[in-house]
Structure 1
Protein backbone atom coordinates (compact mmCIF):
# COMPACT_ATOMS: atom_id res chain seq x y z
CA UNK A 1 0.00 0.00 0.00
CA UNK A 2 1.32 3.46 -0.83
CA UNK A 3 2.17 5.70 2.07
CA UNK A 4 -0.01 8.55 0.81
CA UNK A 5 2.76 11.13 1.25
CA UNK A 6 4.40 13.07 -1.51
CA UNK A 7 7.43 15.30 -1.26
CA UNK A 8 8.27 16.87 2.06
CA UNK A 9 8.96 20.49 2.83
CA UNK A 10 11.08 20.71 5.93
CA UNK A 11 9.72 18.18 8.40
CA UNK A 12 6.07 18.56 7.41
CA UNK A 13 4.74 15.74 5.18
CA UNK A 14 2.66 16.78 2.19
CA UNK A 15 -0.43 14.78 1.34
CA UNK A 16 -0.37 13.06 -2.03
CA UNK A 17 -2.62 15.18 -4.30
CA UNK A 18 -4.33 11.98 -5.50
CA UNK A 19 -5.60 11.47 -1.93
CA UNK A 20 -7.84 14.52 -2.28
CA UNK A 21 -11.30 14.59 -3.89
CA UNK A 22 -11.31 16.67 -7.07
CA UNK A 23 -14.63 18.41 -6.45
CA UNK A 24 -17.86 18.24 -4.46
CA UNK A 25 -21.21 17.68 -6.19
CA UNK A 26 -23.57 20.66 -6.33
CA UNK A 27 -26.38 19.62 -8.69
CA UNK A 28 -29.09 17.18 -7.53
CA UNK A 29 -28.12 14.50 -10.06
CA UNK A 30 -24.44 14.72 -9.14
CA UNK A 31 -25.27 14.54 -5.41
CA UNK A 32 -27.37 11.42 -6.05
CA UNK A 33 -24.48 9.84 -8.02
CA UNK A 34 -21.86 10.57 -5.37
CA UNK A 35 -24.12 9.29 -2.58
CA UNK A 36 -24.57 6.04 -4.55
CA UNK A 37 -20.77 5.82 -4.82
CA UNK A 38 -20.42 6.33 -1.06
CA UNK A 39 -23.01 3.63 -0.33
CA UNK A 40 -21.20 1.17 -2.59
CA UNK A 41 -17.88 2.15 -1.02
CA UNK A 42 -19.17 1.37 2.49
CA UNK A 43 -20.66 -1.97 1.42
CA UNK A 44 -17.43 -3.11 -0.22
CA UNK A 45 -15.27 -1.90 2.68
CA UNK A 46 -17.40 -3.81 5.17
CA UNK A 47 -17.35 -6.93 2.99
CA UNK A 48 -13.76 -6.99 1.70
CA UNK A 49 -11.82 -4.54 3.87
CA UNK A 50 -9.53 -1.73 2.73
CA UNK A 51 -7.03 -4.01 0.99
CA UNK A 52 -9.78 -5.67 -1.06
CA UNK A 53 -11.37 -2.40 -2.20
CA UNK A 54 -10.75 -0.85 -5.63
CA UNK A 55 -12.25 2.18 -7.32
CA UNK A 56 -13.28 0.03 -10.28
CA UNK A 57 -15.22 -2.31 -8.02
CA UNK A 58 -16.90 0.65 -6.31
CA UNK A 59 -17.97 2.07 -9.67
CA UNK A 60 -19.36 -1.31 -10.73
CA UNK A 61 -21.23 -1.74 -7.43
CA UNK A 62 -22.64 1.81 -7.65
CA UNK A 63 -23.71 1.36 -11.28
CA UNK A 64 -21.66 4.30 -12.59
CA UNK A 65 -18.92 4.54 -15.19
CA UNK A 66 -15.38 4.43 -13.82
CA UNK A 67 -14.76 7.76 -15.58
CA UNK A 68 -17.64 9.30 -13.64
CA UNK A 69 -16.12 8.12 -10.35
CA UNK A 70 -12.73 9.52 -11.39
CA UNK A 71 -14.36 12.90 -12.06
CA UNK A 72 -14.65 13.16 -8.27
CA UNK A 73 -12.19 10.67 -6.76
CA UNK A 74 -8.80 9.96 -8.41
CA UNK A 75 -7.98 7.20 -5.92
CA UNK A 76 -9.55 5.12 -3.17
CA UNK A 77 -7.78 7.35 -0.62
CA UNK A 78 -9.58 10.35 -2.17
CA UNK A 79 -12.84 8.41 -1.99
CA UNK A 80 -12.31 7.70 1.71
CA UNK A 81 -11.40 11.35 2.32
CA UNK A 82 -14.58 12.49 0.58
CA UNK A 83 -16.70 10.00 2.47
CA UNK A 84 -15.31 11.07 5.86
CA UNK A 85 -16.00 14.72 5.03
CA UNK A 86 -19.52 13.76 3.91
CA UNK A 87 -20.13 11.93 7.22
CA UNK A 88 -18.88 14.86 9.28
CA UNK A 89 -21.09 17.26 7.32
CA UNK A 90 -24.05 15.00 8.15
CA UNK A 91 -23.07 15.06 11.84
CA UNK A 92 -23.00 18.87 11.83
CA UNK A 93 -26.39 18.93 10.08
CA UNK A 94 -27.89 16.57 12.68
CA UNK A 95 -26.55 18.76 15.49
CA UNK A 96 -28.15 21.79 13.90
CA UNK A 97 -31.53 20.17 13.23
CA UNK A 98 -31.88 18.08 16.39
CA UNK A 99 -30.17 20.35 18.93
CA UNK A 100 -29.73 23.97 17.84
CA UNK A 101 -33.12 24.28 16.11
CA UNK A 102 -35.03 22.08 18.61
CA UNK A 103 -36.84 24.91 20.36
CA UNK A 104 -39.03 22.63 22.50
CA UNK A 105 -36.09 21.37 24.62
CA UNK A 106 -35.04 22.63 28.04
CA UNK A 107 -31.36 23.40 28.52
CA UNK A 108 -30.20 20.15 30.14
CA UNK A 109 -32.11 17.98 27.67
CA UNK A 110 -30.66 19.98 24.77
CA UNK A 111 -27.11 19.66 26.09
CA UNK A 112 -27.44 15.94 26.80
CA UNK A 113 -28.65 15.44 23.23
CA UNK A 114 -25.72 17.53 21.97
CA UNK A 115 -23.26 15.31 23.84
CA UNK A 116 -24.90 12.07 22.73
CA UNK A 117 -25.06 13.01 19.05
CA UNK A 118 -21.44 14.18 19.11
CA UNK A 119 -19.98 11.29 21.07
CA UNK A 120 -22.14 8.20 21.00
CA UNK A 121 -20.92 5.48 18.61
CA UNK A 122 -23.41 5.08 15.78
CA UNK A 123 -22.50 2.31 13.36
CA UNK A 124 -25.60 3.00 11.27
CA UNK A 125 -25.04 6.73 10.77
CA UNK A 126 -21.23 6.60 10.67
CA UNK A 127 -20.27 3.01 9.77
CA UNK A 128 -16.65 3.81 8.96
CA UNK A 129 -15.84 5.81 12.08
CA UNK A 130 -13.79 2.88 13.30
CA UNK A 131 -10.34 1.60 14.21
CA UNK A 132 -9.48 0.53 10.65
CA UNK A 133 -10.04 4.03 9.27
CA UNK A 134 -8.15 5.65 12.14
CA UNK A 135 -5.14 3.45 11.39
CA UNK A 136 -4.81 4.82 7.82
CA UNK A 137 -6.04 8.34 8.56
CA UNK A 138 -2.58 9.80 7.87
CA UNK A 139 -3.00 8.87 4.19
CA UNK A 140 -5.82 11.32 3.55
CA UNK A 141 -5.86 13.94 6.32
CA UNK A 142 -3.66 16.88 7.25
CA UNK A 143 -3.53 18.96 10.46
CA UNK A 144 -5.62 21.64 8.77
CA UNK A 145 -8.46 19.14 8.35
CA UNK A 146 -8.51 18.45 12.09
CA UNK A 147 -8.39 22.18 12.86
CA UNK A 148 -11.28 22.83 10.49
CA UNK A 149 -13.44 20.15 12.09
CA UNK A 150 -12.61 21.40 15.58
CA UNK A 151 -13.66 24.93 14.57
CA UNK A 152 -16.90 23.67 13.02
CA UNK A 153 -17.79 21.47 15.99
CA UNK A 154 -16.98 24.25 18.44
CA UNK A 155 -19.15 26.67 16.50
CA UNK A 156 -22.07 24.23 16.51
CA UNK A 157 -21.67 23.64 20.26
CA UNK A 158 -21.63 27.41 20.88
CA UNK A 159 -24.85 27.74 18.87
CA UNK A 160 -26.40 24.94 20.93
CA UNK A 161 -25.57 26.65 24.22
CA UNK A 162 -26.74 30.02 22.86
CA UNK A 163 -30.10 28.36 22.08
CA UNK A 164 -30.51 27.47 25.78
CA UNK A 165 -32.54 30.53 26.73
CA UNK A 166 -33.30 29.03 30.15
CA UNK A 167 -29.63 29.04 31.20
CA UNK A 168 -29.13 31.96 33.59
CA UNK A 169 -25.40 32.07 32.82
CA UNK A 170 -23.84 31.09 29.50
CA UNK A 171 -20.52 29.19 29.57
CA UNK A 172 -17.66 31.08 27.97
CA UNK A 173 -16.44 30.25 24.47
CA UNK A 174 -13.17 29.01 25.99
CA UNK A 175 -15.06 26.61 28.26
CA UNK A 176 -17.16 25.30 25.37
CA UNK A 177 -14.01 24.75 23.29
CA UNK A 178 -12.51 22.77 26.17
CA UNK A 179 -15.64 20.60 26.37
CA UNK A 180 -15.45 19.91 22.62
CA UNK A 181 -11.83 18.78 22.97
CA UNK A 182 -12.79 16.60 25.93
CA UNK A 183 -15.81 15.05 24.18
CA UNK A 184 -14.51 14.62 20.62
CA UNK A 185 -11.02 13.66 21.77
CA UNK A 186 -12.56 11.03 24.03
CA UNK A 187 -14.62 9.65 21.18
CA UNK A 188 -11.56 9.35 18.95
CA UNK A 189 -9.67 7.59 21.73
CA UNK A 190 -12.57 5.17 22.17
CA UNK A 191 -12.21 4.33 18.49
CA UNK A 192 -8.46 3.79 18.92
CA UNK A 193 -8.54 1.88 22.24
CA UNK A 194 -11.75 -0.06 21.48
CA UNK A 195 -13.15 -0.31 25.05
CA UNK A 196 -16.14 -2.58 25.51
CA UNK A 197 -19.72 -1.29 25.38
CA UNK A 198 -20.00 -0.94 29.17
CA UNK A 199 -16.79 1.10 29.40
CA UNK A 200 -17.90 3.33 26.53
CA UNK A 201 -21.31 3.90 28.14
CA UNK A 202 -19.64 4.81 31.46
CA UNK A 203 -17.38 7.34 29.68
CA UNK A 204 -20.39 8.91 27.97
CA UNK A 205 -22.29 9.21 31.27
CA UNK A 206 -19.28 10.89 32.88
CA UNK A 207 -19.04 13.44 30.07
CA UNK A 208 -22.73 14.28 30.58
CA UNK A 209 -22.36 14.46 34.36
CA UNK A 210 -19.33 16.73 34.26
CA UNK A 211 -20.80 19.22 31.80
CA UNK A 212 -24.29 19.27 33.32
CA UNK A 213 -22.86 19.61 36.84
CA UNK A 214 -20.86 22.62 35.71
CA UNK A 215 -24.01 24.17 34.28
CA UNK A 216 -26.02 23.47 37.43
CA UNK A 217 -23.18 24.82 39.55
CA UNK A 218 -23.24 28.03 37.53
CA UNK A 219 -26.99 28.22 38.12
Structure 2
Protein backbone atom coordinates (compact mmCIF):
# COMPACT_ATOMS: atom_id res chain seq x y z
CA UNK A 1 0.00 0.00 0.00
CA UNK A 2 1.06 3.62 -0.56
CA UNK A 3 2.86 5.74 1.97
CA UNK A 4 0.44 7.30 4.43
CA UNK A 5 -0.49 10.85 3.47
CA UNK A 6 -0.09 13.36 6.25
CA UNK A 7 -0.81 16.71 4.64
CA UNK A 8 -3.31 18.48 2.44
CA UNK A 9 -0.55 19.04 -0.13
CA UNK A 10 0.19 15.32 -0.33
CA UNK A 11 -3.51 14.54 -0.76
CA UNK A 12 -3.72 17.06 -3.61
CA UNK A 13 -0.60 15.57 -5.18
CA UNK A 14 -2.23 12.10 -5.08
CA UNK A 15 -5.41 13.60 -6.50
CA UNK A 16 -3.48 15.08 -9.44
CA UNK A 17 -1.78 11.69 -9.98
CA UNK A 18 -5.19 9.97 -10.08
CA UNK A 19 -6.37 12.45 -12.71
CA UNK A 20 -3.26 11.85 -14.78
CA UNK A 21 -3.70 8.09 -14.68
CA UNK A 22 -7.47 7.66 -14.75
CA UNK A 23 -9.15 10.99 -15.53
CA UNK A 24 -11.46 13.22 -13.55
CA UNK A 25 -14.02 10.53 -12.75
CA UNK A 26 -11.60 9.05 -10.22
CA UNK A 27 -11.49 12.17 -8.04
CA UNK A 28 -13.66 11.14 -5.13
CA UNK A 29 -13.11 10.62 -1.43
CA UNK A 30 -13.03 6.79 -1.52
CA UNK A 31 -10.63 6.38 -4.45
CA UNK A 32 -8.35 9.07 -3.10
CA UNK A 33 -8.31 7.48 0.36
CA UNK A 34 -7.40 4.15 -1.22
CA UNK A 35 -4.65 5.77 -3.32
CA UNK A 36 -3.27 7.52 -0.25
CA UNK A 37 -3.44 4.43 1.94
CA UNK A 38 -5.62 6.16 4.54
CA UNK A 39 -9.19 5.89 5.73
CA UNK A 40 -12.02 7.89 4.19
CA UNK A 41 -12.26 9.77 7.48
CA UNK A 42 -8.66 10.92 7.10
CA UNK A 43 -9.53 12.64 3.83
CA UNK A 44 -12.49 14.33 5.53
CA UNK A 45 -10.05 15.77 8.08
CA UNK A 46 -8.71 17.92 5.23
CA UNK A 47 -11.78 18.30 2.96
CA UNK A 48 -15.31 18.62 4.26
CA UNK A 49 -16.90 17.23 1.08
CA UNK A 50 -16.22 15.87 -2.38
CA UNK A 51 -17.00 19.33 -3.71
CA UNK A 52 -14.30 20.84 -1.48
CA UNK A 53 -11.84 18.17 -2.62
CA UNK A 54 -12.60 18.73 -6.31
CA UNK A 55 -12.39 22.48 -5.86
CA UNK A 56 -8.99 22.25 -4.17
CA UNK A 57 -7.82 19.80 -6.82
CA UNK A 58 -8.82 22.17 -9.62
CA UNK A 59 -6.90 24.98 -7.95
CA UNK A 60 -3.92 22.66 -7.55
CA UNK A 61 -4.03 21.70 -11.24
CA UNK A 62 -4.20 25.36 -12.32
CA UNK A 63 -1.20 26.09 -10.11
CA UNK A 64 0.73 23.19 -11.62
CA UNK A 65 -0.05 24.26 -15.18
CA UNK A 66 0.57 27.98 -14.78
CA UNK A 67 3.14 28.17 -11.99
CA UNK A 68 5.63 30.98 -12.45
CA UNK A 69 8.68 29.87 -14.38
CA UNK A 70 12.19 30.29 -13.06
CA UNK A 71 13.00 32.22 -16.23
CA UNK A 72 10.94 35.38 -15.80
CA UNK A 73 12.04 36.65 -19.23
CA UNK A 74 8.91 34.93 -20.59
CA UNK A 75 7.03 37.93 -19.17
CA UNK A 76 9.31 40.52 -20.78
CA UNK A 77 7.01 41.04 -23.76
CA UNK A 78 3.63 39.96 -25.10
CA UNK A 79 4.99 37.60 -27.75
CA UNK A 80 7.12 35.69 -25.23
CA UNK A 81 4.19 35.51 -22.81
CA UNK A 82 1.79 34.19 -25.43
CA UNK A 83 4.30 31.53 -26.51
CA UNK A 84 4.82 30.50 -22.88
CA UNK A 85 1.08 30.34 -22.18
CA UNK A 86 0.41 28.21 -25.25
CA UNK A 87 3.20 25.90 -24.13
CA UNK A 88 1.65 25.66 -20.67
CA UNK A 89 -1.76 24.93 -22.20
CA UNK A 90 -0.20 22.08 -24.15
CA UNK A 91 1.52 20.83 -21.01
CA UNK A 92 -1.81 20.98 -19.15
CA UNK A 93 -3.63 19.00 -21.83
CA UNK A 94 -0.93 16.35 -21.92
CA UNK A 95 -0.59 16.06 -18.16
CA UNK A 96 -4.30 16.40 -17.29
CA UNK A 97 -6.31 15.04 -20.23
CA UNK A 98 -9.74 16.63 -20.43
CA UNK A 99 -9.02 19.36 -17.89
CA UNK A 100 -9.76 22.30 -20.15
CA UNK A 101 -12.58 20.80 -22.18
CA UNK A 102 -14.40 18.63 -19.68
CA UNK A 103 -13.75 20.16 -16.33
CA UNK A 104 -12.92 23.83 -16.76
CA UNK A 105 -15.80 24.65 -19.05
CA UNK A 106 -18.13 22.27 -17.22
CA UNK A 107 -17.29 23.94 -13.92
CA UNK A 108 -18.80 27.18 -15.18
CA UNK A 109 -22.08 25.36 -15.88
CA UNK A 110 -22.26 23.77 -12.45
CA UNK A 111 -24.45 25.28 -9.83
CA UNK A 112 -21.65 25.62 -7.29
CA UNK A 113 -20.70 29.16 -6.44
CA UNK A 114 -17.34 27.99 -5.11
CA UNK A 115 -16.47 26.38 -8.43
CA UNK A 116 -17.48 29.46 -10.39
CA UNK A 117 -15.57 31.72 -8.01
CA UNK A 118 -12.49 29.55 -8.31
CA UNK A 119 -12.53 29.57 -12.10
CA UNK A 120 -13.02 33.34 -12.19
CA UNK A 121 -10.12 33.71 -9.76
CA UNK A 122 -7.78 31.52 -11.82
CA UNK A 123 -8.79 33.22 -15.04
CA UNK A 124 -8.48 36.69 -13.50
CA UNK A 125 -4.93 35.92 -12.41
CA UNK A 126 -4.02 35.04 -16.01
CA UNK A 127 -5.78 38.15 -17.35
CA UNK A 128 -4.02 40.36 -14.83
CA UNK A 129 -0.64 38.99 -15.91
CA UNK A 130 -1.47 39.48 -19.59
CA UNK A 131 -2.53 43.08 -18.92
CA UNK A 132 0.63 43.75 -16.90
CA UNK A 133 2.82 42.41 -19.71
CA UNK A 134 0.95 44.56 -22.25
CA UNK A 135 1.52 47.67 -20.15
CA UNK A 136 5.24 47.12 -19.59
CA UNK A 137 6.15 45.81 -23.06
CA UNK A 138 8.33 48.56 -24.53
CA UNK A 139 7.72 47.28 -28.07
CA UNK A 140 4.00 48.11 -27.99
CA UNK A 141 3.24 51.08 -30.27
CA UNK A 142 2.28 54.21 -28.30
CA UNK A 143 -0.96 54.48 -30.31
CA UNK A 144 -1.82 50.77 -30.12
CA UNK A 145 -4.56 51.20 -27.55
CA UNK A 146 -7.62 53.38 -27.92
CA UNK A 147 -10.82 54.04 -26.01
CA UNK A 148 -12.28 50.93 -27.68
CA UNK A 149 -9.20 48.71 -27.73
CA UNK A 150 -7.87 49.02 -24.21
CA UNK A 151 -5.17 46.84 -22.68
CA UNK A 152 -7.95 45.11 -20.71
CA UNK A 153 -9.96 44.42 -23.86
CA UNK A 154 -6.90 43.13 -25.71
CA UNK A 155 -5.93 40.89 -22.77
CA UNK A 156 -9.50 39.52 -22.76
CA UNK A 157 -9.29 38.82 -26.50
CA UNK A 158 -5.92 37.06 -26.12
CA UNK A 159 -7.24 34.99 -23.25
CA UNK A 160 -10.34 34.00 -25.24
CA UNK A 161 -8.12 32.86 -28.11
CA UNK A 162 -6.05 30.80 -25.66
CA UNK A 163 -9.11 29.16 -24.13
CA UNK A 164 -10.40 28.35 -27.59
CA UNK A 165 -7.04 26.80 -28.47
CA UNK A 166 -7.12 24.73 -25.30
CA UNK A 167 -10.61 23.40 -26.06
CA UNK A 168 -9.57 22.56 -29.64
CA UNK A 169 -6.21 21.26 -28.38
CA UNK A 170 -4.46 23.35 -31.01
CA UNK A 171 -1.27 24.68 -29.48
CA UNK A 172 0.20 26.38 -32.53
CA UNK A 173 0.50 29.96 -31.30
CA UNK A 174 1.54 31.40 -34.69
CA UNK A 175 -1.89 32.87 -35.60
CA UNK A 176 -2.26 34.53 -32.22
CA UNK A 177 1.30 35.83 -32.39
CA UNK A 178 0.52 37.31 -35.82
CA UNK A 179 -2.58 39.02 -34.39
CA UNK A 180 -0.49 40.46 -31.57
CA UNK A 181 2.21 41.63 -33.94
CA UNK A 182 -0.19 43.31 -36.38
CA UNK A 183 -2.39 44.85 -33.72
CA UNK A 184 -0.02 46.36 -31.17
CA UNK A 185 3.55 46.32 -32.52
TM range (shorter): 0.5 to 0.7
The answer for the alignment partner of 1:37 in structure 2 is 11
Asked if 1:205 corresponds to 2:180, the answer is no
Question: Quick one: which of 63, 71, 76 aligns to 2:45?
Answer: 71
Distance change (3 Å), C-alpha of 1:183 and 1:76: farther
Distance change (3 Å), C-alpha of 1:201 and 1:57: closer
The answer for the alignment partner of 2:29 in structure 1 is 55
The answer for the alignment partner of 2:3 in structure 1 is none
Asked if 1:156 corresponds to 2:125, the answer is no
Between Structure 1 and Structure 2, the one with more helix by share is 2
Q: Distance in 2 between matches of 1:59 and 1:150?
A: 30
Aligned residue for 1:122, secondary structure, equals helix
Equivalent pairs counted in the alignment come to 172
Distance change (3 Å), C-alpha of 1:180 and 1:83: farther
Distance change (3 Å), C-alpha of 1:48 and 1:161: closer
Q: Distance in 1 between matches of 2:19 and 2:61?
A: 15
Report the TM-score when normalising by structure 2.
0.67
Computed over aligned residues only, the root mean square deviation of the Cα atoms, in angstroms, reads 3.6
Q: Distance in 1 between matches of 2:151 and 2:52?
A: 32
1:127: Cα distance to partner? Answer: 1.7
1:121: Cα distance to partner? Answer: 1.8
Distance change (3 Å), C-alpha of 1:64 and 1:188: farther
1:170: Cα distance to partner? Answer: 7.9
Unaligned runs of 5+ in 1: 1-31
Between Structure 1 and Structure 2, the one with more strand by share is 1
Asked if 1:113 corresponds to 2:80, the answer is yes
Q: Distance in 2 between matches of 1:113 and 1:65?
A: 46
1:92: Cα distance to partner? Answer: 5.2
Distance change (3 Å), C-alpha of 1:142 and 1:66: closer
Q: Distance in 1 between matches of 2:135 and 2:183?
A: 16
Report the TM-score when normalising by structure 1.
0.59
